[in-house]
Amino acid sequence: MSKKRLIRTLLLWPISRIYGIVVFIRNWLFDLGVIKHEEFDIPVVVIGNLAVGGTGKTPHTEYIINILRSHYKIAVLSRGYKRQTKGFVLADDNSTPDIIGDEPYQMYRKFGESVVVAVCEKRCDGIKRIKELHPEVNLILLDDAFQHRYVKPKVAIVLTEYNRPIFKDKIMPLGRLRESISGLSRADFVIVSKCPEDIKPMTMREFEHNLNLYPYQKLYFSKYVYGALTPVFPEYATYTPELGWLTQSDTILALSGIANPRPFVRYLKQYKAKIKVKIYEDHHKFVSHDYDDISHKLAMLPGDKKFIITTEKDAVRIANDPEFPQELKSQVFYIPIQVQFVNNNNPFEIELNKEIKRKI
């Protein structure tokens, strides 16, 4: 261990220890019933994680919507991280990422009126408002709410990322864990997300051993499947390139403002085009000087053909931003992603449906 890392560990360890004790006591009080939770007559499915950062909750929530919406009238409730509004807001055609947050907006834009999308910091209040406004809803998905224990879910799903598994992590701020790995005991399903294409059975068994789940818990492995490039501004795109067509004389400016851009960048780097990467913080709100910097960087890059390629979540913010430069709109594309389960002997969608019905 380097001297700098040792000093950091010594400074952060006491804070991490205190934080972990506080979270443990909070969970203990919930378990004892001292702090009350609320249970609803509508089945609630929680999708969350133990660590901060991008484990892929939104793509997995979209996957769950797709597999369950033929059986249920679904509502998705999120807190709407980094939105500029407060309280309960129901998504509609006038919504923007600033009003409801980029991830809820992405889901509303993708599913439209077939799914109710709402945001509220207080999830209990949000569920009650959804029931009032949409009595036809008979299943609620709570996005990023595993630690929000004021709502008692029927089913809890926890994600851990393949490259940053929770059993190799530490409590914040020394690590990225919001709570100890013992909190995993509250989960019905654990999903190892963002797995490589060629994940080996032996590696899966190692995860199973290290996670050490209870018999009532089910473990799954998922990966991303990347779609074709899609224009962020379809009305300005003269044509849509395919990554496989690009050569070494072409250049891509990879633009990302998500928690973990490494899988996105890794995917682009398997193609022949030159890649220049521009990374911003998660949920970054682009402003005019960002666009000036992006325009300058793109102009300075070599290449016969030059494109800006971004993530689906970033595209949501960019497409709704009136400050995005007009001259770049024909050059900016995003890569849609979908979740696919690996080595799925007991299909996740069947097991999830069975578990919901069993718990109702």
Provide the residue ranges of all domains of the chain, joining segments of one domain with +: 34-224+341-359, 228-335
Sign of CA dihedral 121, 311, 172, 176: positive
The domain made up of 34-224+341-359 has a fold known as: Rossmann fold (3.40.50)
- The pLDDT tens digits of the residues spanning 282-327 come to 888 888 899 999 999 999 998 889 999 999 999 999 999 999 999 9
Count of positions (residues) in the chain: 360
- The pLDDT tens digits of the residues spanning 216-246 come to 999 999 999 999 999 999 999 988 999 999 9
| Residue 126 and residue 43 in contact, taking contact as beta carbons nearer than 8 Å | no
Helix, strand, coil abundance in the chain, percent, nearest 5: 40, 20, 40
Looking at residue 1, what is its pLDDT? Answer: 59
Specify the CATH number of the domain 228-335: 3.40.640.10
Looking at residue 286, what is its pLDDT? Answer: 87
- The pLDDT tens digits of the residues spanning 29-39 come to 999 999 999 99
Whether residue 54 has pLDDT greater than 80: no
d(CA 65, CA 270): 31
d(CA 346, CA 349): 9
How confident is residue 81, by pLDDT bands cut at 50, 70 and 90? Answer: confident
- The pLDDT tens digits of the residues spanning 179-197 come to 999 999 999 999 999 999 8
Looking at residue 203, what is its pLDDT? Answer: 95
